[in-house]
């Protein structure tokens, strides 16, 4: 019996990227997993892929827009009724609106509604069916700590997630629920792949220079951190943030120094 056997995990934004990696990691560790995503076909495809390795009864997909309170309520109620409660929640749903000076009110609202409000209300609803010892992990970002060109909307919402995490940790502690955040660096996800035009070999070194480990991260590496924070090994950890960023946040303005030390540099 593994620690997560028979546990129930809800992953919002689990159709792809970090969310999909988290869903797979929990399922492989024995948990039952519910994937919530606005991308219904993507959520179903991810669930089918996970079933091949974790078993047909381990994963269910729900087409849910976290901005739709009725859809969220119905999905959480269905999950709790089917599996008897909820043990873990991963808030990975995200709207990648990255705008700065020119951001419109509609763009601000789009970013806040998914990244902050959606996560907050999903957590509040799920908490009603969470068992003592349950956990919540919110996916923030190193962007919460950095000024980056033309990224007011995205960075502000990721910073808000950290404040939200602390408040949730305090208010949910009487129910025995721990709440933490993970802040990834540059991770090879569909959004980053799109920005790179699919050419990782070309962009690995370019983006790798922002990280002490000189490379992009993998979604599975973020999922490993989420599993840790959700496990009994993190039983005295709540209200905090774990960087999974290859040293991005620790790197100073001097950068990496001699970049000729990069593997493959000319």
Half-sphere exposure at residue 236, Cβ-oriented, CA atoms within 13 angstroms: 0
Three-class SS state of 221: helix
Residue of 4, 154, 207, 210 marked catalytic: 154
Which residues, in sequence order, are CB contacts of 70 under 8 Å at separation 6+?
none
Half-sphere exposure at residue 78, Cβ-oriented, CA atoms within 13 angstroms: 15
Q: Is position 154 annotated as part of the catalytic site?
A: yes
**Is the Cβ–Cβ distance between 120 and 113 less than 8 Å?**
no
DSSP tag of 217: B
The token pair that represents 48 in the structure block? 């089918």
Q: How far apart are alpha carbons 151 and 156 in whole angstroms? A: 8
**Helix (DSSP H) and strand (DSSP E) numbers for the chain:** 9, 7
Catalytic residues: 154
């Amino acid at each position: 019996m593994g620690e997560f056997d028979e546990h129930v995990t809800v992953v919002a934004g689990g159709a792809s990227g970090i969310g999909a990696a988290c869903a797979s990691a929990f399922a492989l560790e024995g948990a039952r997993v519910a994937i919530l995503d606005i991308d219904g076909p993507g959520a179903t495809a991810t669930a089918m892929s996970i079933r091949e390795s974790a078993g047909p009864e381990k994963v269910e997909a729900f087409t849910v827009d976290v901005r739709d309170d009725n859809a969220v309520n119905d999905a959480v109620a269905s999950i709790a009724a089917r599996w008897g409660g909820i043990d873990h929640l991963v808030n990975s749903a995200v709207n990648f609106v990255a705008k700065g000076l020119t951001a419109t009110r509609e763009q601000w609202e789009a970013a806040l509604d998914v990244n902050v409000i959606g996560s907050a209300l999903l957590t509040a609803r799920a908490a009603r069916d969470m068992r003592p010892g349950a956990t919540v992990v919110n996916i923030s970002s190193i962007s919460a700590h950095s000024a980056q060109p033309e990224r007011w909307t995205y960075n502000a919402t990721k910073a808000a997630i950290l404040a939200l995490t602390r408040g949730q940790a305090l208010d949910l502690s009487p129910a025995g629920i721990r709440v933490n955040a993970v802040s990834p660096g540059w991770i090879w996800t569909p959004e980053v792949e799109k920005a790179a035009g699919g050419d990782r070999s070309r962009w690995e070194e370019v983006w790798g220079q922002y990280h002490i480990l000189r490379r992009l991260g993998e979604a599975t590496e973020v999922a490993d951190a989420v599993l840790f924070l959700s496990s009994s090994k993190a039983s005295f950890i709540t209200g905090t943030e774990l960087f999974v960023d290859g040293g991005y946040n620790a790197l100073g303005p001097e950068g990496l120094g001699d970049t000729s030390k990069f593997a493959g540099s000319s």
